Each structure stands twice: as C-alpha cells, then as structure tokens.
Amino acid sequence: MSVLMVPSPWKIRDRTFVWGSRTHLMGVINVTPDSFSDGGQFNTVERAVAQARHLVHHGIDIVDIGGQSTRPGADSITRTEELDRVIPVIEAIRHDDDDALAQAIISVDTTRSTVARAAVRAGADIVNDISAGTYDKGMLSTVADLGVPIVIMHLRGTPITMQQRTDYHDLIGEIYEFLQHQIEAAIAVGVKPSKIAVDPGLGFAKTSAQSLELLQQLSRFRELGSPLLVGPSRKSFIGWILDQPDPQKRVWGTAAACCAAIAGGADILRVHDGAEMHDVCRVADAIWRGRG
C-alpha cells in the first residue's frame, strides 16, 4: 500500500493551514446577477461585504469572490465587467473597520490572468481557477510571478458546453491525469508544488451519477500530493437525488455530501451555507480526524 504524503502547510497572512488537521471552509460570494444558487443576492459591494462578514464570523476560513458565473449554460462576461464586479469588493473588505473581516483570507474565483493579478494587487491571497489554467495560457505563469497559491479544477469545455462533455471511458483516471498534467504544467512555469491545490470539479462536465462516483472515490486524488478542495454545495446532483429544484433548499443534502467529502479526505470544502457547514465539519472532523 502506498504511503500518502501530507501536503505542505500554507502560510497566509497570520494563519497556517495544516492539511489533515481539520477541514477548512471556503465560503462562496458570487458578485453576479446569474449564479445558479445565489445570483443577484450579493451583486453590490455592500451586500457582498455584508455576506463576507457573516461568513468570516461563522467559521469560514477563506472567502471566495467571483464575478463570472460558472453555472451550466452561463455566458461569458468581459474582462472589464469582471474587474468592475470583483475588485471593489476585495478593496472594501481590506479597508473594513472589522479587523476579522479586513484580515480575512481571500481567494479570487477567475480564469483570467489579468483579473488574478489585479485581485492580488487589491488584496486577494489565493487564485481559484476552474479551468486549471487552460482558458488563459498566461494564468499559471502569472500565479508563479505573484507567488500565491492556486486551486486547479477539472472541467471539460466551457460553462455553456460542459454538460454535453460527460462521456468518459475512465472517469476517475481521466480526471486524475488531467489534474496531474496541470500540476506539472504549473510547476514547469515556476509555481511551487506546495502552493497548488486540486479540485476534481463536482458537477462540471459531470452527470449526477458521475458526481456521486467522484465522491465515492475521492481518496484516489490524495495520491496527487496536493491539498484537496471539493465543492458539493447545493449542486444539481443533490437536487437530482432529493427531487429539489431550488438550490437554496439543498442545505441538508449538502451537509451529507460534505460528510462524504471529509470521509474521503477533502482538505477544503467550498460552501454557501457557512454556519451550518461549520457545524457539520466540527462533528465530521471529530469522527474522522479525531478532533473531539
């Protein structure tokens, strides 16, 4: 049996992320009018900052800010539009009077290197790229230059086409090979291996049944040697199981999926419901990580 290496800790601001010690939470803030679950709820600076404050004070470790919807069928927006949505929110968080919020760990959810650079300049700490650096050929070298961690995710196609790209001969093997290839591509342009996290991409170019298979075999991705991020929150596979078309009514289903991800070795969970999933993680960590 192979011995899995524990990924190196991330040291960001005044915090150290020691992988395997507990589950870390990434809270979603979509500064968009059209995201699948919360589109339009946080698409002003004031509402986005208020949500960030709520998440930070309810157990969230990383605030993930995105200006481009990646729901199935979503249209692309211009770079200027994305910058106009994301940068003011990051700047407002960094200048907030609430010290806990002002010092929050921020990731920027973008596939554009120019947005990543501007976001880090404004105060972001992590780049979260759903395309793993494949949409913008300058992304990986930009991240290397910035010296920040990156999350690379598996998908096929674009949000418009991805749900027509679900034909796999070997689901787990093909996702593993893609992530391994992108890790190597990132390292080749100067990204430190210790600053790469991987995300198998639940729901992105995956059917509901395939998303379940991913959760069932999640521990396979530990072999990549990188921190493992999983984003089950309110996803369509949960709605498929529960016959629940409203994403905001999938909180209990999300809790079950989060437990499965923790049992499979996830290091970071990307979630919408911060307080609820913080409780889930505390109990699941007591069971599977011995943190009673």
Active site residues: 235, 270
Q: What tokens does 127 get? A: 């780049």
Q: Please identify which residue in the block is written with the tokens 């639940």.
A: 202
DSSP 72: T
Q: What tokens does 130 get? A: 């759903």
Measured CA to CA, the distance from residue 215 to residue 262 in angstroms comes to 10
* Cβ–Cβ under 8 Å, residues 240 and 232: no
Measured CA to CA, the distance from residue 39 to residue 43 in angstroms comes to 8
Torsion of CA 4, 261, 286, 54, to 10 degrees: 120
Q: Where is 30: in which H helix or E strand?
A: strand 24-30
DSSP 196: E
Burial (CB count <10 Å: 0-12, 13-18, 19+), residue 236: buried
Q: 3-class DSSP state for residue 283?
A: helix
* Cβ–Cβ under 8 Å, residues 265 and 222: yes
Q: Please identify which residue in the block is written with the tokens 């991020």.
A: 229
Alpha-helical runs (H) found in 57-150? 79-94, 99-102, 113-122, 139-146
Q: What tokens does 250 get? A: 């999938």
Measured CA to CA, the distance from residue 47 to residue 35 in angstroms comes to 15
Q: Please identify which residue in the block is written with the tokens 């699941």.
A: 284
